[in-house]
Amino acid sequence: MKPSISVDFCGISFKNPVITASGTFGFGREYAEFYDLSELGGICVKGLTPQKRPGNPPPRIAETPMGILNSVGLQNPGVDAFLSGELPYIKQFDTRVIANISGNTIPEYCEMAEKISDSEADIIEMNISCPNVKAGGMAFGTDAGMVKDVVSSARKFSKKPLVVKLSPNVTDICEIARAAEDAGADALSLINTILGMRIDINTRRPVLHRNVGGLSGPAVLPVAVRMLYQVKKAVKIPLIGMGGIRTGSDAVEMMLAGASLVAVGTACFSEPMTPLLVRDGIREYLEKHDISDVNELCGAVAEYKD
């Protein structure tokens, strides 16, 4: 008998635990040319803002030895265009839809949460790595007090499960995780990209136009696993794990650390089929180890006890 790979997450059934990470999959149109998007557990769409955004000027992508730096700047058509055009397209497929929202003020998060709550999206993911323009540009997600303020406010407007995406660019991610949980988050996703920089030694200029960008890809996997492991011990709500996942083994590692769902991102750029390969790899692991249900992996790391 084949193992079960379905997952119940925040009361919503996912056919498998593999979703796509926001910012790496657009709205699925390009990837639909490679395979049926119904094969995915879910799609987390490109980050949405209240109004259309052109993004940052180029260059805004730079390769690194084990990943990429990006400073795309949340290029997107705006939440209204997503609801009228992109969401109906994705809903043709039998997969869950997670709408990622980004704002520069608390009212912007609330506005988008309210609009998406009245749509066919299944879950709202809050990207709190954005600069709070009313707090001098400090990112919402780097201060526990600001996290409580923005999450508790958005919670009042969200009728959907609310997932808060955590930034790794903090001193204590567990403090931030607890603040989000206390403010009413239904789940957490982590990690977002790690701040990094490359310099062209010939021109002596930064490779990216905005000087710094977010590092993603295989290099961040150990950091993501560590932070997920720590957060799993700090909160009671479910977690989505992401950061450097390329294989079924990577995904299993993330699940053992505490993830219920896993998100594939940067790996899709070099191999569009990666999410399905990860899904199949998880199933193969379960069969090899005679595990009947993928949910048995969540947080099942066997720690050393000194």
Could you list the active site residues?
Answer: 130
Per DSSP, 293 falls in state B
Cβ-proximal residues to 230 (8 Å cutoff; 6+ apart), any chain: 173, 174
Tokens linked to 216: 């993603």
Determine the 3-state secondary structure of 290 from DSSP: coil
Is the peptide bond preceding residue 238 cis, with omega within 30 degrees of 0? no
Q: Which residue has the tokens 């403090």?
A: 175
Residues in the chain, how many? 306
Q: Please, are residues 215 and 191 in contact by the beta-carbon 8 Å criterion?
A: no
Q: Beta strand 96-102 with 67-70: parallel, antiparallel or unpaired?
A: unpaired
Between CA 117 and CA 97 the distance in angstroms is 12
What whole-number distance in Å separates Cα of residue 16 and Cα of residue 280? 10
